[in-house]
Amino acid sequence: MLTSLSIKNFALIEKLSIEFDNGFSTITGETGAGKSILLGALGLVLGKRADLSALKNKEEKCVIEAQFSISKYNLQSFFETHNFDYDAFTIIRREILPSGKSRAFVNDSPVGVSDLQELGVYLIDIHSQQQTQELSEEKIQFEIIDAIGQNGTLLQQYGQALKNYKANKSDLQKQREAYANAQKEQDYTTFLLNELVEAKLVSGSQEELEEQFQQLNNVEFIKENLDKTLALAEEEQIGVIQNLKEVRSHLQKIANLTSEYQVIFERVDSVLIEFDDIISEVNVLAEQLVNDPEQLEVLNQKLQLLYSLQKKHQVNSVEELLIVQNELEQKAFAVQHLEDAIEKLENELIANENELDKVAASLHQNREKAIPVLAKKLVQYLVQLGMPNSQFNIQLTQKKSYFANGTDELQFLFSANKGSDFGLLKKVASGGEMSRIMLAVKAVLAQYSKLPTIIFDEIDTGVSGEIANKMAFIMEEMSSTMQVFSITHLPQIAARGKQHFKVFKETVGNQTQSNIIRLTQDQRVQELAEMISGKDLSEAAINHAKTLLN
């Protein structure tokens, strides 16, 4: 619950600090006294957008600080999730600097405004006239039914399942688009890949083929030169081998005379052995030479294929062609991979839909059970509030679509009078009726939610007399389980408060300021009497005020 509020340099407020108790508190004051300023300050604490124009003195910062007692509301896990420092008496501070920059703190630790907004949902419900109008919106109506149906956990499960479903559906769409684009290129990719595969590319094969081609293409020239080499080497009288043999023979005769001659002899002998071996190899090469035009053509075709492929792919070697082949294989594999990914996502979507359907069915069942409970309780409250013939016809219909909160569509129909047709709330309920319906809704929700504090901002608009008494009774009844504030212009409601605060304007120096005080018993009599008869107090008004308080 809200235990204290301090405001500095905000709108018409120079500086104020006030403490609050549990139970039912009423706030009164003349129109324009500053009640909306208090709500605006609380709104900033709850994370609403800061506005530099809110500063009373533009050269000083605005500071709004609120303390909440939260030990009974199981918020430890929320604080842990958001890395807030938990304290049973939590202090939220909001600062607006003259530069326009806004800062927020929870227990003196800086936090983001969005986090503050999430926390605010668990602390205070500020009911305004705008919220009364929102009662006609399907989203708000679902929130009411889901609160009674205790659907909080199911809604979280559904929300996560819907998030997964949308993510997978988006991924599936992207994969299908990628697959369609890949398929457009698939035929050409396959054609190019098959060309390279059929070429049976082997690293280093081009050089080997080129050597074989050069040999076959020049076979006559090679044979001619090999034959001449053999003739020069093997001629019986003047051949190189015969001459080397004679040289070796002469040197052998003197080799044993000195070591130098021995070395020369051995070197010539080695040359003769090496040369003899060379000529043997030349003989083998000469014998292997065959003039084979068909093989030459085969080699030529293989080389021309390689040259053609290199030109097509703008590369200069078989090694680079192999790289291209690998890239094409990857593209071909990617198409298959996309097919597998699409099939996997389709199966995941089916699983997502099954989970969504299961959770949505549970939500629907809980809502079906909650609707008659809600309708009955609302009618009971509205009977007290002077609408004895009120009826609700709440229709819940399951659809095939997945909405943000399930698969249901809702029609919240209302009839205020006997014999009247049911219609949408915003069309058939007057302003005063809407205020009473909203109070009934809040009273019902108070039985199912654990919200610490609710503030009714002039929910009594359009009602008076005995109905005002009934509204006050209902708010007082709500305050047995939560802290309730009512900003009111009706003395019947103001008198029922456990605490009564008055907002007023006063002139300090040359400036007008707003302030708030907690009224004593005598001050309450004075305030209520003024609310009944105006500034000119009559004895009857004072007595009436005392009667209301008693």
How far is residue 394's CA from residue 375's CA, in Å, rounded to a whole number?
Answer: 8
Q: What is the mean pLDDT of the chain?
A: 86
Q: Mind listing the pLDDT tens digit for each residue in 315-328?
A: 888 788 778 777 76
Say if residues 252 and 265 touch (Cβ distance below 8 Å).
Answer: yes
Residues 6+ apart with CB under 8 A from 29: 35, 502, 503, 504
DSSP 272-313: HHHHHHHHHHHHHHHHH----HHHHHHHHHHHHHHHHHHHHH
Tell how strand 89-96 and strand 102-106 pair up: antiparallel
Say what percent of the chain tops pLDDT 70.
95
220: left (phi over 0), alpha (psi -120 to 50) or beta: alpha
Lowest-confidence segment of 185-194, 252-261, 536-545 by average pLDDT: 185-194
Q: Within a 10 A sphere around the Cβ of 334, how many other Cβ atoms?
A: 16
Q: What confidence tier does 193 reach under pLDDT thresholds 50, 70, 90?
A: low
Residue whose pair of structure tokens reads 């014999």 in the numeric block? 419
Lowest-confidence segment of 116-120, 206-210, 333-337 by average pLDDT: 333-337
Range picked from 34-38, 310-314, 325-329, 526-530 for highest mean pLDDT: 526-530
Q: Mind listing the pLDDT tens digit for each residue in 22-38?
A: 999 999 988 877 888 88
Say if residues 494 and 26 touch (Cβ distance below 8 Å).
Answer: yes
How far is residue 185's CA from residue 173's CA, in Å, rounded to a whole number?
Answer: 19
> Is the per-residue pLDDT at 174 higher than 80?
yes
Q: Mind listing the pLDDT tens digit for each residue in 65-88?
A: 999 999 888 889 889 888 888 999
Q: Mind listing the pLDDT tens digit for each residue in 431-465?
A: 778 888 888 998 998 888 777 899 998 887 777 77
Output 223-228 pairs: Cβ under 8 A, ≥24 positions apart: 223/286, 223/289, 226/282, 226/285, 226/286, 226/289, 227/286
pLDDT at 151: 92
> Is the per-residue pLDDT at 334 higher than 70?
no
Mean of the pLDDT values across residues 164-177? 89
How far is residue 185's CA from residue 439's CA, in Å, rounded to a whole number?
Answer: 66
Say if residues 66 and 92 touch (Cβ distance below 8 Å).
Answer: yes
Say if residues 493 and 463 touch (Cβ distance below 8 Å).
Answer: no
Q: Where in the chain is the domain with CATH 3.40.50.300?
A: 1-123+451-519
pLDDT at 496: 92
pTM higher than 0.85 for the full model? no
Please, is 2 exposed, middle or buried when counting C-beta atoms within 10 Å of its C-beta (0-12, 13-18, 19+)?
A: buried
Mean of the pLDDT values across residues 349-374? 94
Q: Mind listing the pLDDT tens digit for each residue in 290-306?
A: 776 777 777 777 777 77
How far is residue 24's CA from residue 483's CA, in Å, rounded to a whole number?
Answer: 6
Mean of the pLDDT values across residues 251-263? 87
Q: What confidence tier does 206 reach under pLDDT thresholds 50, 70, 90?
A: confident
**Rounded alpha-carbon distances, angstroms, from residue 352 to 154, 161, 173, 393, 425:** 15, 6, 16, 33, 36
- What is the dihedral angle through the alpha carbons of 13, 14, 18, 23, rounded to the nearest 10 degrees? 0
Lowest-confidence segment of 7-16, 91-100, 130-139, 341-350 by average pLDDT: 130-139
Quick one: fold of 1-123+451-519? Rossmann fold (3.40.50)
- What is the dihedral angle through the alpha carbons of 504, 508, 512, 517, rounded to the nearest 10 degrees? -20
Q: Mind listing the pLDDT tens digit for each residue in 137-148?
A: 888 899 899 999
How far is residue 548's CA from residue 71's CA, in Å, rounded to a whole number?
Answer: 35
Mean of the pLDDT values across residues 268-277? 89
